[in-house]
Amino acid sequence: MSFEFNGVEIDDTFAEAFPMLVSRVLITAENDEWALIASKTATGFASSIIMSPAEAGVEGPIVSKDKTPDGRVGRFIQIYHRAGRDLKLQLIARIGQCVLTCPTTNCFDGFPDAKKKIRIGDAVRLFGDGFEEKYEINGRKVWKIPVMEGQFLIERRFGVRRGVAGGNFLIMGEDREKALEAAKRASEAISKVEGVILPFPGGICRSGSKVGSQKYKLAASTNHLFCPLLKGKVKSLLPEKVNAVYELVFNGLNPEIVKKATKDGIVEATKVKGIVKITAVNFGGKLGPVKINLRDALA
C-alpha cells in the first residue's frame, strides 16, 4: 500500500524507532564559532550505537544569549546510550576532552528539570587538581576550574531522560545527484527542528543497515534489499527507475519531535524532481517499540 505526496510515491509504512537514554548539554562560548567547534568535536565518532561508543549530534538552532546561564551564545548537543553507566562515561570523556579544552567555552545541563541527574561536573572538576571552586551562576550550581586561558565553568550535575533514537526514512532517486540533493534538503529541514539531532555525516547515511546478517555473526549488515547494485541478484525492494538511495536517520527528545522531523524532511525531499519513492525502515518490532507512521506524520 502507498499514497502520493507532492507527486512522489510514499509507502504507507512506519519507521521503527527505539528508546535510549539521552543527556542534553548546553555549550556556550564567546561566539558561535567556538560553540560550534566544541559541539562538533564533542559529538564526533557517534553516528550509530552499532559500532560507535555513543550516538550524538548537534542541534541545529543557535541558543541566544538571553537563554543561556552565562549570557553568551550557545549550542545544544545530545548524547545517547543504552545504559546509564556508559552514558556517564561518554559525557565525562567528551566534555573533558572536547569542551574543557576548547577556547572560551562553558558547559551547562540542558535538562535542568530532569528528575534523574548524574555527577558529570563533579567528575570533570578533578582536572582542577584541588584549585577548583564551587560557584553559582543564575541559580546553577557549577564548578569554576582554572585553565591557562582563565576559567572553565561546568554545571555539577546533568539530567538524563529517555529519548527516541532511530527515526528514519529512505529517499529513492533516479540517480545519485537527485537523491543526494533531496537528502541534503531533508537534512537541512530536520536540523531546524528543536530537540532533534542527525548523527550521521552531514545528516545523511548511504549505508543503511538491517538487523543481523545472513552470512556473518554481526549485529547489523548492509540492507541488501535497498542496494541498487543488487537488483536482479536479490528480491529487491527498489522500483526499476531507482539507482540511488539515501537514508535519513534522526534522534529526538520525544516521539512527537521525531514525528515532526519526519514530516519536515519528507516535505523538502519531495520538492526535488527525480525522486521516485520514499519509504521507512522497520523490522516488525525486532528493533524497537516506537512507530512513526509516514501517513500520520504527513497528515
The C-alpha cell at 57 is 549530534
Residue-level length of the chain: 299
Q: Using one digit for the tens of pLDDT, what is the confidence trace for 184-206?
A: 999 999 999 999 999 999 999 99
Q: Using one digit for the tens of pLDDT, what is the confidence trace for 214-249?
A: 999 999 999 999 999 999 999 999 999 999 999 999
Instruction: Using the predicted structure, report yes or no on whether residue 179 has a pLDDT greater than 80.
Output: yes
The C-alpha cell at 131 is 584549585
pLDDT number for residue 123: 98
pTM of the model: 0.95
Q: What is the mean pLDDT of residues 91-112?
A: 98
Instruction: For residues 84 and 22, give the distance between their C-alpha atoms in angstroms, rounded to a whole number.
Output: 9
pLDDT number for residue 33: 98
Q: Using one digit for the tens of pLDDT, what is the confidence trace for 244-266?
A: 999 999 999 999 999 999 999 99
Domains and CATH numbers, the chain: 2-16+163-298 (3.30.70.520), 20-160 (3.30.70.520)
Positive or negative, the Cα torsion across 281, 285, 286, 291?
Answer: positive
Q: Which residue has the cell 537514508?
A: 247
The one-letter amino acid at 149: E
Residue 198 near residue 273 (C-beta atoms within 8 A) = no
Instruction: For residues 129 and 145, give the distance between their C-alpha atoms in angstroms, rounded to a whole number.
Output: 9
pLDDT number for residue 54: 98
The backbone torsions φ and ψ at residue 156, rounded to the nearest 5 degrees and listed phi first, read: -70, -40
Instruction: For residues 155 and 99, give the distance between their C-alpha atoms in angstroms, rounded to a whole number.
Output: 13
From residue 24, alpha-carbon distances to 58, 139, 184, 203, 228 in Å are: 10, 18, 25, 18, 38
Closest CA to 196 of 247, 262, 245: 262
The C-alpha cell at 272 is 526535488
Instruction: Using the predicted structure, report yes or no on whether residue 284 has a pLDDT greater than 90.
Output: no
Parallel/antiparallel/unpaired status of strands 158-173 and 14-28: antiparallel
The backbone torsions φ and ψ at residue 38, rounded to the nearest 5 degrees and listed phi first, read: -65, -40
Instruction: For residues 41 and 28, give the distance between their C-alpha atoms in angstroms, rounded to a whole number.
Output: 14
Instruction: Using the predicted structure, report yes or no on whether residue 287 has a pLDDT greater than 90.
Output: no
Q: Identify the band that residue 288 occupies on the pLDDT scale cut at 50, 70 and 90.
A: confident
pLDDT number for residue 285: 74
Instruction: For residues 279 and 273, give the distance between their C-alpha atoms in angstroms, rounded to a whole number.
Output: 17
Task: Provide the mean pLDDT of the chain.
Answer: 97
Q: Using one digit for the tens of pLDDT, what is the confidence trace for 40-94?
A: 999 999 999 999 999 999 999 999 999 999 999 999 999 999 999 999 999 999 9
